[in-house]
Chains A and B, each alone.
Chain A
Amino acid sequence: MNAPRRTLLGLTLAACAALGSAHAQTTIKINGYGGTDPAVVGDLINRFVKPALAKDRITVVYEPLQGDYNKSLTTLLAAGNAGDVFYLPAETLDGFVATGKVLPLNGLVNTGPFIKSLNAAFTRGGRLYGVAKDFNTLTLVYNRSLFDEAGVKYPDGTDTWATLQTKLTTLKQKLGPDYAGICLQPNWDRFGAFAFATGWTQFDSKGRTNLADPRFAEAFNFYTGLARNKVGIQPSEVSEGWTGGCLKTGKVAVGIEGNWVVNFLRDNAPNLKFGTALMPKNPKTGQRGNFLYTVGWAINSGTKNRAASLKVLNILTSPQVQQYVLEQGLAIPSRTALTSNAYFRKTDPGAQNSRLVFDGADDGNVRAFTFGPQGADWSKPINEALAAVLSGQKSAADALKKAQADMNTFQKR
């Protein structure tokens, strides 16, 4: 079949679908996260989607997948039972793309207004598989009281790794054994940002990961070196499960977290006085490193209502919806135009954090948070190495050697 005829056929099909949806009631099913998302998306559907689509006789239902979203979605896609539109987490994108069940959106959606790095996070081999719903990056969230008490200047956008380390060490010396400078999760999902700052890349052209790279070692040594003299501690050392918990205790000065920590602190440490700074720069490259955590809206390639699904997707990523989501403090929008939104100019700590999370998306070496095609186990060797060094069981050199060996075994699987 030649190209024009294929286009013609496509158009006819689309027209048929559109006609079909105009005559009969069409139901578009959306799959997404559980938790608060049913309320949020339900609200969006009621406020924006339903009024816009009422005349097309399209109804939209949200079906949350409880528990492990990726597993549930895999099951539903395999059973041909998944929603017409669904959340597509960027970190597991590769696995879903490989199934061929995600519709490439090139030519169907205008991606111009969205942040470029977000589009890149959903692009594989030139095909775009999702439109970013919202996103998060990492920032330094700090406890102002501890810095005030120690008489140390707050972290700020000019800090490099070295100046940050000096600030934290001084703070620890002034405040004594009950307090700590920074909370370090033994995890790729925080540490990776530092590795990116050195210019290290997660995968080389052959898809291999090189942990023996001196740039990786530099980041690894800095991150684990922060733990020296208990300047940096792991969350478990203050009987908490994550960095947000560390901050809550009021005993740890800095945490590396995204915008989600704001709501957590408001609920769990309402009188904590916190501020936010951009991630520190690597002294050699002068660049910051950061992760882009994002979830996109994607369309099921097996949907019977492609046209209607596209309409729903376009409404859910429209400027009005994103503005609403931003102003409700629910998420950071993915449209560049919203950078001038009044919300970002507010002075309360939550709004300031939002602004820096937004700014972080295109400052320095920002990479999508992903584990690659082999899934979340990819990060295990790194996490184990971090945990071993942070808890003092191994030297950094030994841990890196073992991590590289484990990584090679894993990638040969």
Chain B
Amino acid sequence: MTAPAPITPAVRERWLARRRWARAAWLYAFMLVMSFFFLGPFVTGLLSSLKDNPNEYPPTLNIPQLTPAVIGRAWAQGVQGSGDGWQGGLHPGRTVTFEVQVQSPPGAPQAPPAVTLFPYQPVSLVAVARQAQARDYATLDTREVARRGDTRTYRVTVRSPLLTRQTGETVRATLTEPDTDLRARLRNGQTVPVRLDTPQAQERQYELNAGQTVELTRGPAGYTLRGPVFERTPLQVDVQRGQRIVGSTLPPSDRQDFGRSFAFRNVTPGVLGYTFNNYRRAFRETADPASGRSLFFSWVLNSFLYAFLRVAAAVVFCSLAGYALARMTFPGRNLIFLVAVLFVQMVPSQVNLVSNYVLLKDLGLLNLWGLWLNGLVAAGGVFLMKQFFEGMPRELEESAAIDGAGPLTTFFRVMLPQAGPALIALSITQFQGAWNDFFWPLVILRDNASFTLTVGLSNFRELYGGQGDYGLILAGAVLSAIPVIVLFVVFQRYFVDTGADSAVKG
């Protein structure tokens, strides 16, 4: 048995140092675990929203939508199809090539793959009128261009035809409701008649719906139709039993038939159409049939407007009421505080559902303004401001009074400027509350275009959730989370400090 080592200062120091490191390690481990729990769902949602199949199981982190080489090719394909590497698409008169490698071992069929265009327009939240499909216009040509061993490379060429013989400036336009002739609205809002100067164009007259994006040629004969602009170029490649598809310019979005059938939902995606496809869809495929505007965009605007109104009202009313309750003496003050602030907070808002709904209905306020009125003064906010003002030194007001300030001047010139941190805390909580508010908007808002983002997203869920279009739902959810995250990151440091402590010198 050995005697215990004497505890020298050096040993003690080492032990303390180990303790410090151990503590730091625990702390960091704890923070890592917590951030994994809190950020994990968001990151997973974000990644899944980029995938072709968000339900993919087991989920992979190595997704082509985030692979630089693939994004580069998506850009190049977009440039080929439309001249725009961001938006992509297939424009009239353009030619796109796409390569597929097929392995045909000896004994297997040596035939080239069957390549077809297929119609693809996802069912949208509010059905956008049927868009022209590349399949009905473009021509395909498949050619073997290289051979290495038993693997052959085939080049598929997609040609989008020009429907006019006229030359001149090319302009983008949207077809309007048809009457006796075809008309289109130009970018500047002007509506012009569209001539169809070739038999190929005339064949198409009754196939194109209002809302279709087209290219026109402006020339001496007026505006003629160059052709519809296709948002996507969906391509399908099928090989025979025994053959294998071993590579393609872009990775396939769907594989079926034991890997012998590849579908590419868009071979001219551009970067936005490839990596951010679901995000672009959230904006594009939710058009209001009446106005043609993006519903998702309206919902974002409505949410911002509602959140802004709520914050403005809270800042004004809560600080005034909080100050009055904290510093003014008037009969019934405590009663007001008990009933109007504390008791109101104890009653869940669902209890007032019927009465408030009927009241707002009778006032004709079943809209955003009614929603605002319903949450105009936040009892919690009044409470927060009251507690904050009670914590402020009375000396500030006394010195203001000595300088001849009345109650209003004292409030606006002395107290309110000091209340910055409380106001910011109030604003952030109110903003977040309004942004995430679901119950009341769901009850009050009726019209598709007047929804806030939360109700709109539940609409997404209803339509796509049952059908598994989770990519779109996730994209919407990620977009709706961003403002709150930004708000917290930018404003969290203002939570901390007030200058009031240093205002009074001992």
Write the residues of chain A forming the contact surface with B, with a CB cutoff of 8 angstroms. 34-36, 38-40, 42-43, 63-64, 66-67, 79, 81, 145, 149, 238-242, 244-245, 248, 250, 263-264, 266-273
Contacts and interface: CB of A to CB of B under 8 A. Distances in A.
A67 B468 CA distance: 17
A333 to B, nearest CB: 18
A355 to B, nearest CB: 20
A240 B123 CA distance: 19
A240 B289 contact: no
Interface string B236-269: 1010000000000000001111100111010000
Nearest to A69: B462
A269 B256 contact: yes
Nearest to B470: A241
Given A34-B462, A273-B257, 11 more contacts: A35-B463, A38-B126, A39-B126, A43-B289, A67-B458, A149-B258, A239-B55, A240-B468, A244-B468, A245-B468, A272-B256
A40 B126 CA distance: 9
Nearest to B448: A38
B55 A242 contact: no
Closest 3 CB pairs of A and B: A239-B57, A271-B263, A145-B257
Given A67-B458, A81-B361, A145-B257, A268 B126 contact: no
Given A38-B126, A239-B55, A242-B466, A270 B254 contact: yes
Contact of A36 (B57, B119, B127, B262): B127
Contacts of B96: none
A244 B467 contact: yes
B156 to A, nearest CB: 15
A35 B263 CA distance: 27
B469 interface: yes
Contact of A268 (B124, B466, B468): B468
A267 B122 contact: yes
Contacts of A239: 55, 57
B468 A264 contact: yes
18 contacts: A34-B463, A35-B125, A36-B127, A36-B463, A39-B126, A43-B289, A64-B448, A66-B462, A67-B442, A145-B257, A149-B258, A244-B468, A250-B255, A267-B467, A267-B469, A268-B468, A270-B120, A270-B265
Nearest to A81: B361
B236 A271 contact: yes
B39 interface: no
A42 B126 CA distance: 10
Interface string B428-448: 000000000000001000101
A59 to B, nearest CB: 14
B255 A39 contact: no
Contacts of A35: 125, 459, 462-463
Given A267-B469, A270-B120, A63 B361 contact: no
B446 A63 contact: yes
Contacts of A145: 256-258, 261
A244 B467 CA distance: 8
Nearest to A65: B446
Contact of B289 (A42, A79, A81, A270): A42
Interface string B34-72: 000000000000000000000101000000000000000
A25 B123 CA distance: 35
Interface string B407-442: 000000000000000000000000000000000001
Given A244-B467, A270-B120, A79 B127 contact: no
A64 B469 CA distance: 21
Contacts of A43: 289
B372 interface: no
Contacts of A267: 120, 122-123, 467, 469
B127 A40 contact: yes
A127 B503 CA distance: 80
Contacts of B119: 266
A34 B236 CA distance: 33
B487 interface: no
Interface in B318-373: 357-358, 361
Contacts of A63: 446
B462 A271 contact: no
B468 A36 contact: no
Contacts of B448: 34, 38, 64
Interface residues of B, number: 39
B289 A39 contact: yes
Interface string B447-466: 01000000100110011001
A209 B283 CA distance: 49
Contacts of B261: 145, 271, 273
Nearest to A272: B256
A91 to B, nearest CB: 15
Contacts of B55: 239-240, 245
A350 to B, nearest CB: 11
Contacts of B234: 270
A160 to B, nearest CB: 29
B263 A270 contact: yes
B305 to A, nearest CB: 20
Nearest to B471: A268
Contacts of B297: none
A66 B442 contact: yes
A239 B54 CA distance: 11
A241 B469 CA distance: 11
Contacts of A238: 57
Contacts of B289: 38-39, 42-43
A36 B263 contact: no
Contacts of A81: 361
A244 B465 CA distance: 12
B459 A34 contact: yes
B154 to A, nearest CB: 17
B118 interface: yes
A244 B126 CA distance: 22
Contacts of B357: 79
Nearest to A238: B57
B408 to A, nearest CB: 44
A247 to B, nearest CB: 10
A79 B257 contact: no
Nearest to A36: B127
A271 B260 CA distance: 10
A271 B123 contact: no
Contacts of A250: 255-257
Given A81-B361, A145-B261, A250-B257, A270 B126 contact: no
A29 to B, nearest CB: 11
Which residue among B234, B261, B265 has the maximum number of chain A CB atoms within 10 Å of its CB? B261
Which residue among A42, A239, A271 has the maximum number of chain B CB atoms within 10 Å of its CB? A271
A67 B457 CA distance: 11
A264 B467 contact: yes
Given A67-B442, A145-B257, A250-B256, A268 B462 contact: no
A81 B442 CA distance: 16
B442 to A, nearest CB: 6
Nearest to A35: B463
A248 B254 CA distance: 9
A149 to B, nearest CB: 6
A150 to B, nearest CB: 11
Contacts of A269: 254, 256
Interface string B100-121: 0000000000000000001110
Contact of B126 (A36, A66, A266): A36
Nearest to B465: A241
Contacts of A264: 467-468
A320 B120 CA distance: 27
Given A38-B126, A63-B446, A240-B55, A271 B463 contact: no
